[in-house]
Amino acid sequence: MSDHWHGVESAPANVRKSNAGQPESVRTDDPDYFLTTERLGFRRWTARDESLAIDLWSDPQVTALIGGPWTREVALERLAREIDEITGQLHLARERAAQAERRCQQLEHILDYLDASPAADQDTAGARLEARREFEIAQIAMARGTDFGWITSVGPGFRITAPSRAICRLLDLSYEELDGSYLLADPLLSRLQMMLGNFGEWALIIGMLTRSALDGWRSDPDYPHCAAKVTNYFDWLNRYVRANYKDVSDQVERAPAKLVDGDSSRNDLRQCLAAAIGNAEWPPYNTNRHNTMRLHVVSHPLLSGEVARFEKTAIPFYRGSQVIGYEVQWNAEYADKVASGLIRAVLAELGIMPSPSSSGR
């Protein structure tokens, strides 16, 4: 039997031998058979097929061209191995089907969000399809590429989709854990809290971003499913800032007055710090000031006491004038040598050659 049919048992569709060696009818309408012809039926091996496997692989005529015949013990080992292989293949197929289903649901959510917005009536069906196509292409490219990042929707909770293998390895999270999760919740929230030396700065900026998005989210049909995540995030942020006020305040004061986007940003962070504990209103999120965010990794198995300084950029996807999502990328901040080295180390572990843009600006 060729490798292509490993894990698959075939028998004459109308007749095969029973354990007693007598002809036994095979029902071709048996649901276990996934393929039948006039004379043959194909199904997967099961643990009940030990006698069939022994008969098959100890037959000199059947195995003459594939290295047999084999002993009973070898035949049973091969049966167990092929059952394991086909079980693994089925599990992988189910995982891929589940990922495809999640991806479809995410795309449907984006379309529902666009349909619910005032700008939707002004756009043509062609524009909607083009936006959807660009979003799908970006997801595929991110998941398969060497960039460190993911694609984020602008819908309630900022859902993360299509994380790259590189960012999953950097964060030590599986694709299944990260894909479909939310920026405001675990696993990303707790993982960044463990890794970042300026986690408080990051958490305040995400709070400002979320507060600015709330008015739009409340009219979204999916908002009721995410409302608890939003509430939980601000409740958690309030407790976190109160418990770590000095540390978070120091992070705010160490933040540059001007980021690479060029506008003043430290005053926004000061107001965010006060807003997080209820002492001020949240400032509006300004894309020009905060589209680039500092992420300083201080805890990682591939680091030994150094700080890897990254910057996270969010590149918007537009439909007309409306932002429908972001391509999020982590890059070395100002070609930081430690971050560049960490990027190369992660890619090496994955067996990936770094692209010119992966190791820094």
Do the beta carbons of residue 132 and residue 151 sit within 8 Å?
no
What residue type is assigned to position 294 of the chain?
R
Three-state secondary structure string covering 153-173: ECCCCCEEECCCHHHHHHHCC
pLDDT digits (tens, 9 = 90+) for 275-309: 999 999 999 988 767 778 899 999 999 999 999 99
Mean pLDDT calculated for residue range 107-124: 56
What residue type is assigned to position 91 of the chain?
H
pLDDT digits (tens, 9 = 90+) for 161-176: 889 999 999 999 999 9
E-assigned strands of 282-353?
292-297, 308-319, 322-332
Of the listed ranges 9-18, 100-109, 112-121, 331-340, the least confidently predicted one is: 9-18
pLDDT digits (tens, 9 = 90+) for 239-259: 999 999 999 999 999 887 765
Classified as helix, coil or strand, 176 is: helix
- How high is the pLDDT of residue 18? 46
Mean pLDDT calculated for residue range 126-146: 68
Dihedral over alpha carbons 155, 156, 161, 163 (to 10 degrees): 120
C-alpha 35/C-alpha 33 separation (Å) is: 6
pLDDT digits (tens, 9 = 90+) for 165-211: 999 999 999 999 999 999 999 999 999 999 999 999 999 999 999 99
Do the beta carbons of residue 283 and residue 272 sit within 8 Å?
yes
- How high is the pLDDT of residue 290? 72
Dihedral over alpha carbons 343, 179, 323, 339 (to 10 degrees): -10
Across-strand partners of 160?
Answer: 152
∠ at Cα 345 (95, 174), nearest 5°? 20
pLDDT digits (tens, 9 = 90+) for 69-101: 889 999 999 899 888 888 877 777 776 676 666
Q: What tokens appear for 98 in the block? A: 């589940």
